[in-house]
């Protein structure tokens, strides 16, 4: 149903910044949106979430460095990543969840590599 496409990943030096984008094929006004990541050989983990009302939550490991935002008019969600560290290296996935968790959609993922 809802297609999610991530973009903006790439190679960046430690201390650098990247901005990830997630564009949805349908309106997401009422959806809770989130970013997850999966480091090599590890489980997928929550990075940040933003509700339809704009409330945000972050993993402790990224607090103060990452910022999630949404633009419902553009049907997009963003993840601004600053002060990147090598341990931030992972495939980053966009997630959309409909009200009451009735539907969950995932993007294909975008690679973020932090290395000198």
Average pLDDT, the chain: 97
- What pLDDT is stored for residue 54 in this prediction? 94
Structure token digits, residue 92: 């980053």
The structure tokens 């993922």 sit at 109
Residue closest to 92 by CA, chosen among 71, 66, 54: 66
Give φ, ψ of 86 to 5 degrees.
-55, -35
Question: What confidence tens digit (pLDDT) does each residue in 5-30 have?
Answer: 999 999 999 999 999 999 999 999 99
């Amino acid at each position: 149903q809802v297609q999610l496409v991530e973009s903006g990943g790439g190679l960046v030096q430690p201390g650098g910044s990247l901005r990830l984008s997630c564009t949805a094929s349908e309106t997401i006004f009422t959806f809770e949106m989130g970013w997850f990541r999966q480091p090599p050989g590890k489980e997928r983990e929550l990075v940040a979430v933003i509700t339809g009302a704009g409330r945000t939550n972050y993993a402790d490991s990224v607090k103060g460095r990452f910022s999630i935002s949404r633009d419902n008019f553009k049907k997009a969600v963003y993840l601004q990543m600053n002060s990147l560290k090598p341990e931030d290296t992972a495939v980053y996935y966009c997630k959309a969840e409909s009200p009451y968790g009735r539907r969950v959609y995932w993007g294909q993922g975008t690679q973020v590599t932090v290395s000198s």
